[in-house]
Amino acid sequence: MLDRVQDAPPGIDVVKASGTVTKDDYESVIEPLVDAARGEGRRIRLLWEAGPDFRWLTPAAGWEDLKVGIGAMRLFEGCAVVSDIEWIRKPTRLASFLMPCPVRVFGGQDREEALRWLVSLPEGPGILHKLLPESEVLVVEVGQPLRAQDFDALAQTAGSWLETHDELAGVVVHARAFPGWENITGMLRHVRFVRDHHRQVRRIALAADSKLAGLAPHLADHFVRAEVRQFGYGELDDAVSWASGSPGADREP
């Protein structure tokens, strides 16, 4: 069975599994939780707990789990799985990169740590970005793994500008190192963002101190039409100046 547990900080939903979980459990517990979040316009941070008395998930419950997950994946902001059962822990770890939100597995004794992790998750986009109207450059500050929400926010900002302008002069990515993507959803949203906007950006500057940064201009040439150049992490002003097409900014860094 599934039970809602009311002992979590505000904004955290806790569901505990015990015995055998059935389709009826999903219909009476999970679906109302999702419907309530959708109606309130909020994202879901879920702690899913399975103690030693949890036995099994019926096939019908598994199918219901899949249906609910597909229908509500955009609502989830994070999921913590708390259990000492290995047949739950190992598959969850393997599949976490494929999930649309951050997923972490905790041992049964680490429940409080799991709650703290859920509370600590950033709300909305995790990167900072700003469009500089005077130079027509979009500056993106990257400091943590890239998420789908980040590219949704970038697309909104770029889209608003392109509604009244033909193109962006440039995009500057400022990062000490490339942190990768939080999950496959973030990676796919990154690909979509490049696909939708690369024809409307003249220049892309990467201001980063990373061994990978030197490869970026060569790799990017295969995917975007924009001119691409690398700068050091401390050369942000030079990168913005070059990306804007300012006179005298075309020197090699």
What are the boundaries of each domain within the chain?
2-120, 128-244
pLDDT value of position 253? 47
Q: What is the pLDDT of residues 96-130, one digit of tens each?
A: 766 767 889 999 999 999 999 999 887 766 678 88
Contact 253, 235 (CB under 8 A): yes
Q: Is the pLDDT of residue 49 over 60?
A: yes
The average confidence (pLDDT) of the chain is 83
Q: Is the pLDDT of residue 95 over 60?
A: yes
pLDDT value of position 189? 84
- CB within 8 A of 55, min separation 6: which ones? 19, 20
pLDDT band per the 50, 70, 90 thresholds, residue 147: confident
Q: Give rounded-to-5 percent helix, strand, coil for the chain.
A: 45, 30, 30
At the topology level, CATH places domain 128-244 in Transcription Regulator spoIIAA (3.30.750)
Whole-model pTM: value is 0.59
Q: Is the pLDDT of residue 213 over 50?
A: yes
Q: Is the pLDDT of residue 45 over 90?
A: yes
Q: What is the pLDDT of residues 59-86, one digit of tens each?
A: 676 656 756 666 676 778 889 999 999 9
Average pLDDT value for residue range 4-33: 90
In the block, residue with structure tokens 């024809």: 199
pLDDT value of position 178? 77
Please state which CATH number belongs to domain 2-120: 3.40.50.10600
In the block, residue with structure tokens 């401390």: 234
User: Residue 148, exposed/middle/buried by CB under 10 A (0-12, 13-18, 19+)?
Assistant: buried
Average pLDDT value for residue range 49-64: 80
